[in-house]
Structure 1
Amino acid sequence: MSDLKTVKLESDQSRTLKKAIRELKPIQIWDWLFRSCELNGRVLLSEGVITAEDLEECIDKGKCKKLSIRLPAWCILQCLLRSAKLHVNGLLISDGVELTDFTWPKDKVLEWLFGPLVIMKEQMKGLHLDENEESCLRTLIMANSNERPEDWEGSGFSSGDMVRRAQLRAILRRLQGMVASLSILPTFRRRFNSLVKSLYVDAVEVGGLSMEDVHPRIKGKLAALLEERRNHDKNNEKENCNVELV
């Protein structure tokens, strides 16, 4: 009897998960992408892959082309590598959440993305990348244009197989091109600009960037962003206190 209850519970949980995946909306894909950009952006910022100058160019001059393509492409690449390594049919965007052709949102803006991404994932799976190659791909998609074979010189990519390199270079170029198409959308631009400001505030708050190093034209904007962050944190603390009191 206990076994039957366990099976029923697992079946109910499975149906609940499938239902949740079926009901994914376009906004949830955007949320995943920008949450991934936020978390990975902090890591890349701490490692010096993303610099304060990169963020300042976005905030002060509106020059986000490099960062707005390479950071999201880095995050999607990470998704593709993990999905390929775990041999899932679709795309694993988080633990327990796999997107397939049936669960991907039927949205005019996003529906053209899924097929090419799955193809790239399958290509990577077929190449059986080792850890060194995966690490190099992450570096290359952030640092280089990947337009010419020479772009990979000195990258530390272990394989000297030129055909293999050409295949991977084509994947990175295609991925960057897809993100470039996304980056012109108003929703993308608005959310990415907000993300950049958040990363810049993070850099100041963790001590990676001092106020003395901040460009004079940005100091006023930064002060407003810091105040906004403090108010947001205070509101969250009040909400948590109210929940505890209830």
Structure 2
Amino acid sequence: MPNSFKDWVKTLYVIFAFCSVLCFGALKSVLVGPIAGLILIIGNCGVILGLFPAHVAWTIYTLLKTNRFDAPLKVALLLGLPALFGIWLGLSIGGSVVVGVGYGFFTPWVSSFEAFRLEDESKKFYHCIVDGTVGTIKGSCTVVRDFADLCYHSYPSYLKELRENPASNELQPLRFVHVPACIIVGLIGLVVEIPLYTAIALVKSPYMLFKGWQRLLHDLISREGPFLETACIPIAGLTILMWPLIVIGSIVMAIFTSFFIGLYGSIIVYQERSFQRGIAYVIAMVAEFDEYTNDWLYLREGSILPKPRYRKRKPSSSTHLSVGRNQSLRDRFGSAFPEAPGMLVPSLTASRSVREVIKEVKMVQIWGSMMKSYEARGKELLDVTAITPSDLSDWLKAKHSNEATVIDVGLPCYSFLHTLLNSIKAGSNGIMLLDGTEVNHLNRPQDRLLDWFFHPIMVLKDQIGVLQLEEAEIRYLEKMLLFGHDKERSTSWENGSFKTQDALRAAQLEGISRRMVGMHRSVSKFPTYRRQYRQVVKDLIIYSMVKDGSTNTIAYSVPKEGSNRSINSNSSAPKAKESSKRSMSSGSVASIEIV
């Protein structure tokens, strides 16, 4: 059979499959989308409105209690709180509606196309129909739960750190004369930035639409980027069809970010002690956004709009680490914004192939390995009675996780320390995951979120490697991380440690401990962290129950949350098995009892 004929048959098959999956996906979106969307919208709006009085009370209490702000700055922030909370309600409820509709409509559709990538031809049709139905509804419930964790646990944690941190010498006092200027510039920023950002985004959206289509069609014809692999052609084809929606999403994101860009003018007034420079910032940010979008869309450089200077002093040297198109914006924002604000414009450069992308270590793989490491180290500590089942139970029952710091902070930091030590012993240039995968500068995920942590972690790893810690010093550092300032618990656990008599060495160990605790506290504020870590704690409780009920070897399998757990034992331990089954059959915390 001629190769050209084979290619035609293959092309017709891909077209037929694409049309079929498109129809199945649309049908599932119509049936499942409204249910998943309503769950997400009603759940998130319930969390927002239900916790709104508590958010107001927590915020006002923190502003009055903190030592980081002087009296005039507190007055300015208190006067601006009504506007900030109004913006929060509007954006959060509106965003919940948009996310709910988008998630409920597109997730079943995309799941149908993902099923087309299966290698088993006999299962493709089944998964095209089934995938994205029940999973989408469960996913919407998970989103609501993560959002509730963010509002109920992460936000109070930020406020508590703000209250407990000592006064910073970097913050300059604000005079009462600048309070009206901060409020006026913030309002002017909203009035100017929102309509102009919207106008610029709307004017340039047609060019983005056709430029994106041109890039995707070029990849389709030349079989580059996402079209290199035959299995990914349907998903790439869906991208071509949905590109107008991506453009609309970019416009919405531009409007969304304009709120925060406008309000940042108040901070410029505070930093520069000048009303005129605050106004200059408002004007300059319009030109910055125009220049930013020109760079992303490969239009002419610069902007015809005026761009007055609003900084008296030069930006810090740390901003010179940034490269690429966002250099000018990052120089102006400094450390306040890690990335230039603006329209969420997808890259229109040539896409990488699937083979190139698949070599990267995915963020979900790192997250899963981190949780498995927590569980493995937790079992080790349970075996040596460094932590107890009551510690785990106290963390589950605590309204705020800080009430059980041994489990909340100690166990993750203990696990993180051993991850770094294992990476150093293995001579890795990066971080060794629990399964032996190395994450380094070459294969790490190209994720903006990971950028905030990867470089500091690598610096900390190098510092620990340079110290060449002795075994007893490592054991002492374990105690510091696990128990913190609880001297009674630290003394009761005999792990062969001793406190060094060298004052410099002791200070270095304490510095490492503080940095690791700080990194963990930042990671623990992410919404998905608490849900997954809660499952780890539940698994450790069940492990301790089975361990106490039998002295023989027990094989324990750890499934995902919500699935049935299985415990296989060669010994007869009916009491442990019965109690374990009771705890496994119920998802509530109250049903977990320690035997």
Change (3 A) 1:94 1:192: closer
Structure 1 residue matching 2:448: 3-state secondary structure? coil
Cα distance in 2 between the residues matched to 1:92 and 1:180? 21
Alignment counterpart, residue 361 of structure 2, candidates 5, 21, 24: 24
Please list the CA deviations of residues 185-240 of structure 1 after superposition, one character each: whole Å capped at 9, or x if unmatched: 1110000111111111111111179xxxxxxxxxxx976533369xxxxxxxxxxx
Deviations 1:56-98 (A, max 9, x none): 1122234433112221111111011122233322112246422
- Residues 88-107 of structure 1: matches in 2 within 5 Å? 88-94=428-434, 96-107=436-447
Counterpart for residue 82 of structure 1: 422
Contact kept, 8 Å, 2:524 with 2:530, in 1: the verdict is yes
* Structure 2 counterpart of 1:194: 535
SS, match of residue 449 in structure 2: coil
Matched, 1:37 2:395: no
Distance 1:20 1:94 in 2: 22
Contact 2:375 2:540 in 1 (8 A): yes
Is residue 397 of structure 2 the alignment partner of residue 56 of structure 1? no
Question: Could you say which structure has the larger radius of gyration?
Answer: 2
Counterpart residue number, 1:123: 463
The separation in 1 between residues aligned to 2:485 and 2:446, in whole angstroms, is 32
Distance 1:99 1:194 in 2: 25
Correspondence for 2:454? 114
Counterparts of 1:1-246 in structure 2, within 5 Å, are: 22-65=359-402, 66=405, 67-94=407-434, 96-145=436-485, 156-207=497-548, 224-227=582-585
Contact 1:69/1:183, CA 8 A, preserved across alignment: no
| Segments ≥4 residues shifted beyond 6 Å | 18-21
Q: Can you list the C-alpha shifts for 1:156-187, whole angstroms capped at 9, x where unaligned?
A: 43531111111121111111111111112111
**Displacement of 1:131 after TM fit?**
1.4
Greater CA drift, 191-200 or 98-107: 98-107
Secondary structure in structure 2 of the residue aligned to 1:206: helix
> CA–CA distance in 1 between the matches of 2:420 and 2:549?
30
Residue 21 of structure 1 contacts residue 103 of structure 1 at CA under 8 Å; is this kept in 2?
Answer: no
Aligned residue-pair number:
196
C-alpha separation in 2, matches of 1:139 and 1:177: 17
Asked whether the 8 Å contact 1:81–1:134 carries over to 2, the reply is no
Q: Is residue 474–residue 497 contact of structure 2 (8 Å, CA) maintained in 1?
A: no
Cα gap change, 1:227 to 1:84, in 2 (>3 Å): same
Cα shift readout 1:119-170 (whole Å, capped 9, x = no counterpart): 1111111111111111221222101249xxxx99x99435311111111211
CA distance in 1, matches of 2:542, 2:549: 10
**Contact 1:22–1:102 (8 Å) recurs in 2:** no
Match for 1:227: what amino acid?
S
The aligned amino acid for 2:523 is L
CA distance, structure 2, for counterparts of residue 195 and residue 62 of structure 1: 18
Alignment partners' CA distance in 2, 1:109 and 1:222: 38
For the aligned residue pairs, the C-alpha RMSD in angstroms reads: 3.0
Kept after mapping to 2: 8 A contact 1:83/1:90? yes
Shift, 1:102, TM fit: 2.2
* Cα separation, partners in 2 of 1:207 and 1:95, compared to 1, 3 Å: closer
Distance 1:160 1:20 in 2: 50
Is the CA contact 1:201–1:222 (under 8 Å) kept in the aligned structure 2?
Answer: yes
* Aligned partners of 2:413 and 2:520 also within 8 Å: yes
Q: Distance in 2 between matches of 1:46 and 1:20?
A: 41
TM-score by length of 2: 0.30
Measure, in 2, the Cα distance between the counterparts of 1:141 and 1:93: 20
Q: Using the alignment, how far apart are the partners of 1:50 and 1:129 within structure 2?
A: 24
Change (3 A) 1:115 1:48: same
Q: Is the 8 A contact 1:21 1:99 kept in 2?
A: no
CA distance in 2, matches of 1:198, 1:94: 18
Of the structure 1 ranges 42-51 and 64-73, higher mean CA displacement relative to structure 2 is found in 64-73
State the Cα distance separating 1:21 from its structure 2 match: 8.0
Q: Structure 1: which 5+ residue stretches go unaligned?
A: 1-17, 210-220, 230-246
Which SS does the other structure have where 1:207 is aligned? helix
Letter in 2 for 1:71: L
